[in-house]
């Protein structure tokens, strides 16, 4: 299993890259988890030109290279990252099958 992007999330990431003038052939989406949030772990997304290191997993979804450190990958394996552009919520949504509990806002888990 890996981490995948929905078509909508991939379009949004490509739009952000274009808006920020980031080179598509040298830019990676770094995905991870960090301590914090209401349920213990929060999600992290970052666009970077730093390629995967020895301690990283790398995969590609919809032509976007995704990099994830091994510790975070244990929590994120099988996750789909989607994007919502609704009236009540705008942002990336992590559809993660792994958490034992999540907070009400959906931005953190344990």
pLDDT value of position 100: 62
- Cβ distance 10 to 61 under 8 Å? yes
pLDDT value of position 103: 47
Number of neighbours of residue 100 by Cβ within 10 angstroms: 7
Q: What CATH number has the domain bearing residue 22?
A: 2.60.300.12
Residue 31 lies in a domain: yes
Closest listed residue to residue 22, CA positions, set 45, 47, 2: 47
Residue 34 lies in a domain: yes
Determine the average pLDDT of the residues in 65-82. Answer: 96
Residue 97 lies in a domain: yes
Please classify residue 1 by burial: count the beta carbons closer than 10 Å to its beta carbon, then call 0-12 exposed, 13-18 middle and 19+ buried: exposed
Residue 110 lies in a domain: no
- In this prediction, residue 81 has a pLDDT band, given cuts at 50, 70 and 90, of very high
Determine the average pLDDT of the residues in 85-104. Answer: 79
The predicted-structure confidence for 18-67, as pLDDT tens digits, reads as follows 999 999 999 999 999 998 656 578 899 999 999 999 999 999 999 999 99
- E strand or H helix that includes residue 73: helix 70-76
- Cβ distance 81 to 12 under 8 Å? no
């Amino acid at each position: 299993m890996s981490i995948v992007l929905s078509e909508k999330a991939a379009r949004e990431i490509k739009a952000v890259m274009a808006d920020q003038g980031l080179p598509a052939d040298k830019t990676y989406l770094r995905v991870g988890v960090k301590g914090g949030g209401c349920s213990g772990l929060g999600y992290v997304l970052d666009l970077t030109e730093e390629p995967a290191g020895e301690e990283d997993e790398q995969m590609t979804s919809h032509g976007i290279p995704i990099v994830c450190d091994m510790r975070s990958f244990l929590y994120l394996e099988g996750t789909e990252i989607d994007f919502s552009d609704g009236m009540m919520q705008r942002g990336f949504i992590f559809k993660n099958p792994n958490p034992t509990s999540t907070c009400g806002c959906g931005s953190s888990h344990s």
